[in-house]
Amino acid sequence: MKKTLLLLLAGLMMTSARADEGMWIPMLIGKNYEDMQRLGLRLSKEDLYDINHSSIKDAILQFGGGCTAEMISGNGLLLTNHHCGYDAIANLSTVDRDLLDNGFWAHNLQEELPANGVTALFLQRMDDVTDEVKAAIGSATGEEYTKKFDAIRKQIEEKAAEKGKYVANVKDYFNGNQFFLLIYKRYTDVRLVGTPPKSLGKFGGDTDNWVWPRHTSDFSMFRVYADSNNQPKPYNAMNVPYHPKKFLPVSIKGEQEGDYAMIFGYPGRTNRYEVSYGVDLAINVTNPAIVACRDLRLSIMHRHMDMNKGTYLQLTSLYSRIANYWKYYIGQTEQLKRLNVVDKKMKQEDAFSKWEIDNHLDAGLLGKFGKIYADYTPYAKHSVYYSEGFRASSLARMASALKPLYDAYERNASTIKGKKVYTMSEDTIKKYIASAKMAYRANIKDFDPGTEKDMMTEMTQLYYQNVPKEQLPDIYVNVIFKNKKTVDKSTYAAYTDIVFAHTFLTDSNKFNEFCNKPSYEKLKNDEAVKYALSFVNNYSKNYQPKVESFASQKAELSREYVRELLMKNKDKLMYPDANSTMRISYGKVLSYDPQDGVHDNYFTTLDGLIAKYKPGSEEFDAPKELIDLYKAKDYGRYADADGKLHTCFITNNDITGGNSGSPVMNANGELIGAAFDGNWEAMSGDIAFDKKYKRTIVCDVRFILFLIDKVGHADNLIKEMDIRQ
């Protein structure tokens, strides 16, 4: 296929591309430039993306692996969302010094706090490597395709990384019809600079999450540090602030309805090519299963976090992540139904099948999709309950990580004088122990004994109640229910007590003792290991192959489907699904009508926050300093022309998870806000974009600056930025 065709992508509804729809590749943004100018952009193409000179792409970074941030000063100061910095802030908090609840502001560089584990990834350039990858893959399919792709990907990445100087990733676009090499610099010395108290950073909590109107000050600030040559270096007291090639000026002029709005960022995943069978499965099987598991998981965590402040700080970041997508899947399901997405897709697929016949192609592609979904559906719920239910327990995850060592002992068993002996080389044992230790460290931070006991008890019961009986692991019949005439919650609780009383995994000292002197006998007699391996072996032997076979077949069909869609829509400007790489979206500030007879304005104000304010509420509290400032109407230069302090606004930009923290810029490339959410009426957007309802919720930069200045009294940060009236 010609390269020009590979630079296209059909939108889900197969309509011509619109300014508000699309997550566009920065390197190819020139194809959209006229449309962007028509909407009001006053920058050149080179101002947006240029590998030879500084451009806006140099001010944008992937933050912490799952969010976006932007440089807002020449001294490495960055802005992202509060929920993106949440984990780092919680980790830096203690019961005696609770930065999460009380907020934090560094008034000089010496007060900034190292955020261990947080990374800042800056894109250096993108290269189209489609021809090289496709030549290496040839006509391979299935496992051979994966093997050849992994080999050529590794070869390209190793060469581009220049022995660790860069991070290099080969990513597929258009479902494997195009490939780009992305080259980054990774900075690991990142320090917390400022955050509002949680009451403001998460104002509205789960109630307001994914909802407009909104009044949340969802932002936090960090600083990137480098060595004296501005190069990446692990944390060191001698490191200095990083000097970016580009940082964004900040506009406090304010936005009006219809103003141009542009977003750069790292959107995670969209699936707008999903066929009707996949949407139907999500609505009726997988999404409800995810919600059920997370419902239970959240309720267990919540009651234990309420009982103990230490547990709250330990689990709050995990809780927040689980809750975010718990509500997401509820909303996605509701909106997929409301917008009749299955029916719309079926009509598109009928038209596609007719086009196949008219163009003498191998017709019947959609029928093949139907066959693989029919084969997979009986196991789809089990797959969800395994990942979201069984693996909800930290203890289960830690025990599961010992399976490779257990299996290695089994493989190396021999019989000597009628007795089984398990022998392995010291190096082999060390390899498996190192892997187990890594998993243990990753999971023990979320391990709270009380929470974990309830998690194992109630998740084991939920698993039994929802997974088809013929698919269950044998631990139920052979152990949990053995010699039991009746089964209820107490049955599961009693079994959990046995597991916790007879495992070395709940005690780090005992775990370390095992690692220092591992043995097969200790493993096979450990009740947590028995429990975990029953689930893991059942799933890996009987159901994981079905899941992987489905995924492989779907990938093959999807490549062909998108390839033909590109041919069918070759005269249209198209964009690829999000894949955690840098994208640009553009549109405008725009109000909307969420339902008949209801109009939602494009902005909110501090008046609305105060109207929601409930002293002592978990979700709608606010600090006294803010209340006092509101009463005095002391908004400084951050008030709008109407005299009010605007808190948030909405645009019709196309974003998804991963865009959290993305800069929202005006026509001059000036920062006007930080994107942090989508709206309830368009939560089907990752699968089906809806022009009428889709909105991006943005924290107004004037609200951010007001809180930094008036509440945080961090005028040092205000002076550091290029603020324009």
Catalytically active residues are: 83, 218, 660
At residue 247, what is the residue type?
F
d(CA 34, CA 201): 38
CA 162 to chain centre: 29
Show the DSSP H helices in 669-724 as ranges: 701-706, 715-720
Q: What is the dihedral of CA 155, 161, 164, 166, to 10 degrees?
A: -150
Could you give the angle at the alpha carbon of 59 between the alpha carbons of 670 and 239, nearest 5°?
Answer: 130
d(CA 519, CA 692): 62
Taking CA atoms, 95 is separated from 89, 124, 311, in Å, by 13, 41, 10
Could you give the angle at the alpha carbon of 310 between the alpha carbons of 116 and 92, nearest 5°?
Answer: 20
At residue 459, what is the residue type?
M
How many other C-beta atoms lie within 10 A of the C-beta of residue 174? Answer: 26
Which residues face 194 on adjacent strands?
105, 221
Burial of 389 (0-12, 13-18, 19+ CB in 10 A): buried
d(CA 708, CA 690): 36
Burial of 157 (0-12, 13-18, 19+ CB in 10 A): middle
Which residues face 648 on adjacent strands?
699
Which residues face 592 on adjacent strands?
600
88 Cβ contact partners less than 8 Å away, ≥ 6 residues apart: 64, 115, 116, 117, 118, 192, 222
The answer to whether 391 touches 400, Cβ cutoff 8 Å, is yes
The answer to whether 66 touches 265, Cβ cutoff 8 Å, is no
Helix H, strand E, coil C: the string for 89-158 is HHHCCCCCCCHHHHCEECCCHHHCEECCCCCEEEEEEEEECHHHHHHHHCCCCHHHHHHHHHHHHHHHHH
The single residue listed with the structure tokens 């509101």 is 630
At residue 20, what is the residue type?
D
Burial 604-641 (b: 16+ CB within 10 A, else e): bbbebbeebbeeeeeebbbbeebeebbeeeebeebbbe
